Structure 1
Amino acid sequence: MPTALRLACPLVLAMLLAACSHPDSSSEEIRPVRIVTAGQNGSTPRNSFAGQIRARTETDLAFRIGGKIVAKLVNSGEHVKKGQVLARLDPSDTSLDISAKQAQLAAAESDLAQQQLNLQRYQQLLAKQFISQSQVDGQQNGVNAARAKRDEARAQLAASRNQGSYTQLLADADGIISQINAEPGQVVAAGQAVARLAHDGEREAAIQVPENALQQVRQQKQFAVTLWAGKQQFEGSLRELAGDADSATRTYAARISLPHASALALGQTVTVTLEPGAAAAPQTLRLPLTAVLDEQGKHYVWVLNDKSLRVTRRAVSVLAIDSNSVTLQGGVRPGEKVVSAGVHLLHDNQRVTMLQGGQ
C-alpha cells in the first residue's frame, strides 16, 4: 500500500468517528404543546369572584298534606302576590274524610242527647226513691263520656276541614316563582317542595370563596359588584359567609348585600371585586388543571422561554384544585407563558412548538 494512502486512512477514520459522536442538531425532537399566559386566558388573580343575583329571602313551598295535583296555576318566572293560589290537590279524598267526620259528629251528638234524657229520667226516679244515688251517678258518668266523645268528633271535623283548605298551595309573600316542580297528575307527599318563591325586595350577590381568600373577604367592608350585562356597578357589603366548605367544590358560600339593587333580575351574572384598602391577600393565579405536573406529591409547571422556545420545569405551590382549574401561589409570575397540554412528555430545556389556538 502506498505511504500516502496509509497516512490518509487513520485521518478519514477519525473524521468518521467524530461525525458519529456529534449528531446533527437538526434531528433534535421538537414537541408540540399548548400554551396559556398566566393572568390571561382563564387564569385570574383572586381579587374578584364570579357570582349571580339572588333574592335575600327564598322560600321552598310545599303542600301540608299529600295528594294528587290536579291544577298548576303559575309558571316559573311569573310574579305572584301574597295569598295567590299556585297549585291545587285533588279535593276528593279530603271531601270524603269531611263527610265521614260529619257523620261521626252527628252520631256523637245523638248519643249525648240520649244520655242526657236518660239522666233526667234517673233523677226523677231517684226523687221517688225508686233507684239509688249510685245509679244516678253512673248515668252522669255516661253523659260525661258521651260529651267527651262529641267534643272529640268536633275536633276531628275541624281538622278535616282545615286539611280541606290545605289542598291549595298559596304564595306566602309577593315575589317571583323561580322554580316550580308541579304538573297535573303528579302525586306529592306532605312537605315535598313544589315551588321556590324569591321574595320581592332586597337583592344579593351569591359567590363562592376559596379558602385562601376567606380572611380577606371577612375583613372587607365594601365590595364592588359589576353586572356582566350593561356593566352597571353597585356597592355591597358582606352579609353571610358559610362556616363550612362545600363538600364538592371546597369553597365557602357568601352573600353580598345590595340594598340599592332591588330592581335587578334574578340570576344575572356579576363580578364581585374587593375594594382597595383591605389587607392584601397573597397573589394567586389560576391555571388549567392540565398545566400542572404531579410527581410524588410535588407540583410543577413547564415555563416557556419566548426567545429560545425551550421549556423549564418549575416547582409551584398549589392552594386549591377544582374540576377544571388549579389555583397557585408562588412559582409563576403574571405574564409568563406556561404549557397547558402535553406536560407529561417534556424534559428540561426541551424545544417546543406552539399548536394552533394554543395561546
Structure 2
Amino acid sequence: MAAHESSRFRKALRRAMTPLVTILVFGIAGATGLAGYAMIARQGGESDGQQAPLTPVGVMRVAPSDGYTITRRFTGQVEAATRADLGFEFGGRITELLVGEGDLVTEGSILARLDISALLPERAALEAELAALQADAELARLTLARNDSLTERGFRSVAAQDEARLRLVRLEAGMAALRARIAGVDVRLEKSVLRAPFAARIGQRLADPGQTVAGGQPVLVLFDAAPPKARVGLPAQIAARLRVGDRLQVDIGGTVQVAQLIQIRPDLDPGTRSRSVILGLPGEKAAVLGDTVALLVAQQVAEPGFWAPLGALREGARGSWSVMAVETTADGDRTLPAAVEVIHTDGARVYLRGLLPAGGRIVAEAPARVTPGQIILAQAE
C-alpha cells in the first residue's frame, strides 16, 4: 500500500515540474537572443560612424581631335640595282669558269674563257696569205715602176702600164680583205673571254667547264654590288602624291629604315591596277635580293573623336561599346557609362566617337572594377 502511494506521488511531481522546466528553457533562450541583438545593434551603431574607403581608379582627361593618322603598308620586293645575264657572243666550248656563285668581282674581271684552239690556226693562215699578197704587191710596185720608165722612153705600151697599175690595186684590195678577216678573228678571240661589265656579285651559274654553249646563251647571272632597290606597287592616287627624291619609311626584316624614292613608273600594272615606284634602299643593313619589304605611308583621316587606351573600353550587348565616364558631384567623383563607337585602333589605343564633353574624364584602365554611380578616388594618369 505504501509503495502504491509513493508511485502516485512521483507521477504528480513530474506533472508539476514539466511546465516549470519548459518555462525555464524558453526564458534562457529569450535572454540569449536579446543579448545577441543588443550586441549586433551596438556594433552596427559603432560602424555607422565610419565611412568605407574609396576605390582608387586611374582617370584620364580626353582630348578631342579633328582626325587621326593611319599608317598603311604596301608590300614590295628587293631587287638588285642592275642585273645582267651574261653569255658569250659566239658559241663554243667553255674551257674555264673562274667564278662561283656568291663571289664578288670587280669591273673587267675575267669570268670565263672559250676554247680558241680553232681560231689560232685560222689567224695564222690568214697572216700567211697576207704575207704572200704583200710580196706580190711589192713585185707589182717594182713592175709598175719599170713599166713607167719604159713607157716614158717608148719601149712599153700604155696598156701594159695600166695592167701593172691595176694588178697592184687588186693586190692591195686583197690585203685589205685579209686584214679585215684577221681583225674578225681577233674580235672572236677577244669575245672568247667573258669579263664583268661592272662590279658585281655572282648570282646563278648556268654552265660548267667543258659544256658547249650557243652564242647569246646565258652562262652567269650577275647582280650589281651597289645597294639594292625595292619595287613597290601603290594605288594610283597615293603614288600621284609622291615626288622623286622623297624620303620614305620602309620595313626591312622588322627594322624600319629610311629609303629614297628614285623613280615612279608612268604606267599602271594591268593586273593589279597599281603604279610601281622604285626605292633606293640604305646600305647600312644589306637586304636579301628577292626578299619582301613594306613601304609605310601615313594617311590622314578627317574624323572627329578622341584617343583612349584599349583597356578603357567596356563591351556591351550586341557588339556595342562604352567607356566609364567620371563626373564631379557634391559627394565626389562619380562614374557613369557613356556609349562610344570604335573608329580605329593601332593596337594599344583606340580612336573613339562619343557624346563626351570637351575635356571630359574617363576611367583609363579596367572599368569593370567600378560600377555605374560609384563614388571613386580619381587618380590622374
Sort the TM-score into its range (normalised by shorter chain). Answer: 0.5 to 0.7
Measure the CA separation in 2 of the matches of 1:140 and 1:127: 15
Residue 158 in 1 paired to residue 158 in 2?
no
Report the CA distance between 1:136 and its aligned residue: 0.9
Post-superposition shift, 1:273? 2.3
State the AA in 1 paired with 2:98: L
Cα distance in 1 between the residues matched to 2:102 and 2:173: 51
Give, in angstroms, the shift of residue 168 of structure 1. 0.8
When residues 169 and 278 of structure 1 are mapped into structure 2, their CA distance, relative to the original with a 3 A threshold, is farther
1:202 and 2:224 aligned:
no
What does 1:41-80 correspond to in 2, within 5 Å? Answer: 47-80=72-105
Q: Aligned pair count?
A: 236
Q: Counterpart of 1:152 in structure 2: which amino acid?
A: A
CA distance in 1, matches of 2:151, 2:295: 92
The letter of the residue matching 2:114 is L
- Is 1:93 aligned with 2:118? yes
Instruction: Map Cα deviations across residues 43-99 of structure 1 (whole Å, 9 max, x no partner).
Output: xx9932333332222233222222121221111211111121111111123223312
Given residue 219 of structure 1, which amino acid in structure 2 is its aligned partner? R
Instruction: Describe the shift of the 1:95–1:86 C-alpha distance in structure 2 as closer, same or farther (beyond 3 A).
Output: same
C-alpha deviations, 1:106-164, integer Å up to 9, x for none? Answer: 23212212211221232232233121223212211211221121122112212211211
* Partner SS for 1:47: strand
Task: Classify 1:275/1:46 alpha carbon distance in 2 versus 1 (closer, same or farther; 3 Å).
Answer: closer
**Amino acid paired to 1:64:** E
What's the TM-score once normalised by structure 2's chain length?
0.54
Question: Which sections of structure 1, spanning at least 5 residues, go unmatched?
Answer: 1-44, 281-306, 308-332, 336-359
CA distance in structure 1 between the aligned counterparts of 2:300 and 2:88, rounded to whole angstroms: 47
Match of 1:115 in 2: 140
User: Letter of the aligned partner of 2:121 in structure 1?
Assistant: L
Q: Secondary structure at the match of 1:108?
A: helix
Aligned partners of 2:94 and 2:114 also within 8 Å: yes
Normalised by the length of structure 1, the TM-score is 0.57
What is the rounded CA distance, in whole Å, between the counterparts of 1:74 and 1:116 in structure 2? 54
Residue number in structure 2 paired with 1:300: none
User: What residue is the counterpart of 1:35 in the other structure?
Assistant: none
- Structure 1 residues 187 and 140: alpha-carbon distance in aligned structure 2, compared to 1, 3 A threshold: same
Q: CA deviation at 1:173?
A: 1.6
Structure-2 separation of matches of 1:195 and 1:279:
50
State the distance in 2 between where 1:69 and 1:62 align.
Answer: 11
Q: Which residue of 2 aligns with 1:271?
A: 293
CA distance in structure 2 between the aligned counterparts of 1:123 and 1:248, rounded to whole angstroms? 80
**Which residue is equivalent to 2:331?**
none
Aligned equivalents of 1:183 and 1:248: distance in 2? Answer: 38
- Residue-by-residue CA offset, 1:266-304 (whole Å, 9 max, x unaligned): 416343223215799xxxxxxxxxxxxxxxxxxxxxxxx
Task: Give the secondary structure class of the aligned counterpart of 1:56.
Answer: coil
Mapping 1:162-177, distance limit 5 Å? 162-177=187-202
Q: Shift in Å at residue 252 of structure 1?
A: 5.3
**2:155 alignment partner, SS class:** coil
Whether 1:238 aligns to 2:256 is no
Match of 1:189 among 214, 218, 221: 214
Q: Is 1:101–1:160's contact at 8 Å kept on the other side of the alignment?
A: no
The reply to whether residue 256 of structure 1 matches residue 315 of structure 2 is no
Is 1:81 paired with 2:103? no
Of 119, 130, 147, 1:105 maps to: 130
SS of structure 1 residue aligned to 2:181: helix
User: Contact 1:234–1:261 (CA<8 Å) still a contact in 2?
Assistant: no
Measure, in 1, the Cα distance between the counterparts of 2:121 and 2:179. Answer: 16
* Paired amino acid for 2:128: A
Q: Which amino acid aligns with 2:286?
A: L
Name which one, 1 or 2, has greater alpha-carbon Rg: 2
The one of 146, 161, 165 aligned to 1:136 = 161
Aligned CA distance change for structure 1 residues 138 and 111 (closer, same or farther; 3 Å): same
Higher helix share: 2
Cα 1:262–1:186 change in 2 (3 A) is farther
**2: CA distance, partners of 1:248 / 1:66:** 39
The change in CA–CA distance for 1:278 and 1:204 in structure 2 (over 3 A counts) is farther
Q: Percent identity?
A: 28
Label 1:202 to 1:131 Cα distance change in 2 as closer, same or farther (>3 A).
same
- Tell me which amino acid in the other structure corresponds to 2:81: R
